[in-house]
Amino acid sequence: METVVKTVRQHSLAVNNIKELKEITTAYTRVKNYVYSRYSGINSLLLLKNHRVTIRDEWIKSEFAKRWKLPARYWKTALDEAISNIKTEWTNTKRRVKLAVINNVNLSEDERKFVLYILKADSILYAILHNEEFSLPNKLQRLVIRKQYLYSLIKRYIRKYKGEIPYSYKTESFMIDNDMYDYKLIDNKLKMYIQGLKFGQRVEIELKDKNTHKGNLRILIKGNFIEIHKAKYIKVKEKLNVQAKTIGLDKGYRCLLATSENKFYGERLNDFLSKETERLNRINAERNKFWALMKKYEKEGNIKRAENIKKFNLGRIKYNRNKSKFDTQVKSYINREINRFITEDKPTEVVLEDLGFVSWNNKFPSNIKRKLSRWIKGYIKERLSYKCNLNNIEQCIVNAAYTSRVCHKCGSFGVRDNEVFTCTHCGRMDADYNASKNIEMRKYDRSICLYTPYRKVKEILEKRCSA
């Protein structure tokens, strides 16, 4: 049976010894940031695969690990977590390089094949990046390629597409494994005991409910409270629909989802976002006024009044509370509407644009772009994918190029003006519906595949029009 990962959250009452947990978080984050800065580069590429031997055991042998002033289990977990993030970064870099190679019209088929192979062979990649000797496997020796040109291309691409070195600025969470915590039920209250800073000492935490966990947990510090995150594997549900049904989806201009069946979900999303933007603008204007007033009092030497303004009018607590209230509302609205799409439309497969590569800049005017702050985009993508997995719905990702620019009926290039798409032959139609129809049809398009370059897609579409 297939499974999907779900994060289960649990809350504590106020923790007496929160100071110790905060110290652990700070030290834990220090380990992670050291690992990021030391092992993210190309020099460490070959150390990552077996880091428990190449890094962890070395730290123990050389007594380097002592500097963390953390129980071994903590720095080891921090090391594992950071290395796993560095590996993800490398995967992303290689994916970007792969895309650039596929889209590079100056390369021959053989040359593309060569670079794509190298991206999978770390030891050869390492040698190329360090100008070291290496021998090519037999199947690569047969390829007709410009070797030196490709080596410097690979170096250039890796430099270009390697993201910034990760860094945790906020020190607010750490991971613990199964042996670093246990539970006790005392006077009908569930208490959790987490490994403290000193060997054999544990920090007591009273929990709000009586759920106990096993395995790895993430501990997040929130003021005097903690939140516990547990990744749970849950079974994928039976298919809702026995008949195959494919639906194209567009992240709509005026709604959350527009479907190729001309239905719309999450039509109030933009409303939500505009209201919040207005509220934030209003609050910021107010805060600026108080800020100026405080500065004025400070200048006049009226420290007491300045302090009062800082305390009562410029505090972050209420501000943050309202912000998180809004986030929760938007999240539950998004989830509700995605659920409604799944239960009402009963798709067995959805066709989506590759949102990772879609430039939202072209798709939305600036006022909407601002509102769709980054986390919301990421959140929609993540929830949609999660709920599809959970409900056994296939996801087909297609090339996004020009899906909102051509008419789905006749294929001509048309004009998109906010919510309306106009085709000179077929007339006016809903722009989101038109895009979702095009997205659906991309699945069956034999000449436009996911990695067909943008320019090439345009050529193909123009050729079809004139034919």
C-alpha span between 392 and 347 (Å, rounded): 10
Q: Which stretch binds Zn ion (CB under 5 A): 259-267, 281-289, 387-395, 399-407?
A: 399-407
Backbone angles phi, psi at 287, to 5 degrees: -60, -40
Least distance (Å) between residue 415 CB and Zn ion: 11
Residue closer to Zn ion by CB (options 110, 417) is: 417
Distance of CA 444 to the CA centre of its chain: 29
Region from 20-28, 217-225, 302-310, 423-431 binding Zn ion, contact rule CB under 5 A = 423-431
> Is 420 a residue that touches Zn ion (CB under 5 A)?
no
Side-chain-facing half-sphere of 388: CA atoms under 13 Å: 20
Cβ proximity to Zn ion: between 166 and 411 the closer is 411
Quote the tokens at residue 240.
């809702």
Rounded distance between C-alpha atoms, residue 49 and residue 163, angstroms: 20
The neighbouring-strand residues paired with 185 are: 190
Is residue 160 within the footprint of Zn ion (CB under 5 A)? Answer: no
Smallest gap, in angstroms, from Cβ of residue 414 to Zn ion? 7
The one among 31, 423, 431, 448 contacting Zn ion by CB under 5 A: 423
- Rg, C-alpha atoms of the chain: 27
Least separation in angstroms between CB 262 and Zn ion? 16
Q: Is 231 in the site for Zn ion (CB under 5 A)?
A: no
Nearest to 87 by CA among 128, 58, 44: 44
Is the Cβ–Cβ distance between 430 and 421 less than 8 Å? yes
Report the residue number, 181 or 421, with the smaller CB distance to Zn ion.
421
Q: How many angstroms separate the CA atoms of 376 and 391, rounded?
A: 22
Residue 267 beta carbon to Zn ion: minimum distance, rounded to whole angstroms = 25
- Interface residue with Zn ion among 165, 293, 368, 426 (CB under 5 A) is 426
∠ Cα 45 48 53 (to 5°): 130
Residue 297 or 402 having the CB closest to Zn ion: 402
CA distance 403 to 416: 11
- Could you tell me the smallest distance in angstroms from the CB atom of residue 417 to Zn ion? 15
**Bridge partners of residue 234, in order along the sequence:** 4
Taking the complex as a whole, the smallest distance from the CB of residue 353 to Zn ion amounts, in Å, to 20
Give the interface segment with Zn ion, choosing from 202-210, 248-256, 315-323, 403-411 (CB under 5 A).
403-411
| Residue 168 or 412 with smaller CB distance to Zn ion | 412
Residue 409, interface with Zn ion (CB under 5 A)? yes
Q: Is 410 in the site for Zn ion (CB under 5 A)?
A: yes
Query: Nearest approach, Cβ of 409 to Zn ion (angstroms)?
Result: 5
Q: What is the 3-state secondary structure (H, E, C) of 125-179?
A: HHHHHCCCCCCCCHHHHCCCCCHHHHHHHHHHHHHHHCCCCCCCCCCCEEEECHH
Closer of 5 and 415 to Zn ion (Cβ): 415
Q: How far apart are CA 239 and CA 224, in angstroms?
A: 44
Binding of Zn ion by 461 (CB under 5 A): no
CB-nearer residue toward Zn ion: 32 or 442: 442
Tell whether residue 407 is a contact of Zn ion (CB under 5 A). yes
Comparing CB distances to Zn ion, the nearer of 165 and 426 is 426
The reply on whether position 425 binds Zn ion by CB under 5 A is yes
Question: Binding residues for Zn ion, per CB under 5 A?
Answer: 407, 409-410, 412, 423, 425-426
